């Protein structure tokens, strides 16, 4: 597989929002088929690292869904959106500046502590099982605009998760992947048992 040719094809598969922030980077030495770091708020560019020697062992529909899923997860991370935790972060930072100007050490510590707690909460929300399931669902929605049916997209993503684990030489799927696979089986009509709502709504 020629990486540049595949990258051009993948760029066509990407949603327009992904093309603006996501960069595909060949990473032949990595042990993972596809990898992306958790995007921090000051990072404008969100790279996705692909080992194309391993990537080519997946079928094209699996590659498409795996890419769309990774992009959906990356672009789904929201550090700045209007909710209570972002408000606490801003209030804590502003309070810290005010207290610092007034040389109030206790006030600075309290304001800093509030900001830290809110930031941890935001980070946990973006790393929750709910965010993982949301990324899968978002990838399937994008795949519908690429000619896949919902059932096909869920099946391809399901088999991609399972195949990647084998390619990477892992003995099995981790807990998060098992939950995702069960949810995808339900979407694909392969299982009558879905994922409990507690996983879908648990941001911790």
Range of 119's domain?
84-126
Residue 96 clears pLDDT 50, i.e. is over it: no
Query: Can you give the pLDDT at residue 202?
Result: 46
Rounded to the nearest integer, the mean pLDDT of the chain is: 81
Determine, yes or no, domain membership for 63.
yes
Cα separation values, 70 from 3, 109, 121, Å:
18, 38, 22
How many domains would you assign to the chain?
A: 2
Give strand pairing partners of 136: none
Per mean pLDDT, which range of 74-88, 106-120, 177-191 is the poorest?
106-120
Tens of pLDDT, residues 144-167: 999 999 999 999 999 999 999 999
pLDDT band at 31; cut points 50, 70, 90:
very high
Determine, yes or no, domain membership for 121.
yes
Exposure of 136 by Cβ count < 10 A (0-12 exposed, 13-18 middle, 19+ buried)? buried
Residue 196 clears pLDDT 80, i.e. is over it: no
Asked if 180 and 109 sit in the same domain, the reply is no
Write down which residue in 68, 100, 126 finishes a domain: 126
Residue 100 clears pLDDT 70, i.e. is over it: no
pLDDT (mean) for 83-107? 50
Asked if 116 and 180 sit in the same domain, the reply is no
Write down which residue in 126, 151, 184 finishes a domain: 126
Determine, yes or no, domain membership for 90.
yes
Cα–chain center distance at 3? 23
Residue 94 clears pLDDT 90, i.e. is over it: no
**Percentage of the chain exceeding pLDDT 70:** 71
Is the separation of the CB atoms in 134 and 76 below 8 Å? yes
Asked if 144 and 121 sit in the same domain, the reply is no
pLDDT (mean) for 56-84? 85
């Amino acid at each position: 597989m020629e990486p540049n040719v595949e990258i051009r094809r993948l760029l066509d598969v990407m949603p327009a929002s992904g093309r603006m922030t996501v960069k595909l980077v060949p990473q032949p030495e990595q042990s993972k088929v596809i990898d992306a770091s958790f995007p921090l708020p000051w990072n404008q560019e969100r790279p996705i690292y692909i080992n194309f020697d391993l990537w080519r062992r997946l079928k094209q529909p699996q590659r498409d869904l795996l890419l769309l899923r990774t992009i959906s997860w990356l672009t789904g991370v929201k550090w700045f959106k209007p909710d209570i935790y972002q408000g606490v972060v801003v209030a804590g930072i502003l309070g810290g500046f005010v207290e610092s100007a007034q040389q109030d050490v206790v006030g600075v510590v309290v304001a800093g502590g509030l900001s830290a707690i809110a930031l941890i909460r935001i980070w946990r929300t973006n790393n929750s099982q709910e965010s993982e399931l949301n990324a899968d669902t978002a990838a399937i929605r994008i795949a519908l605009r690429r000619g896949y049916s919902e059932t096909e997209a869920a099946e391809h993503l399901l088999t991609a998760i399972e195949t990647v684990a084998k390619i990477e030489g892992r003995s099995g799927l981790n807990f998060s992947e098992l939950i995702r696979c069960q949810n995808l089986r339900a979407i694909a009509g392969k299982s009558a048992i879905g994922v409990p709502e507690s996983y879908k709504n648990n941001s911790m």
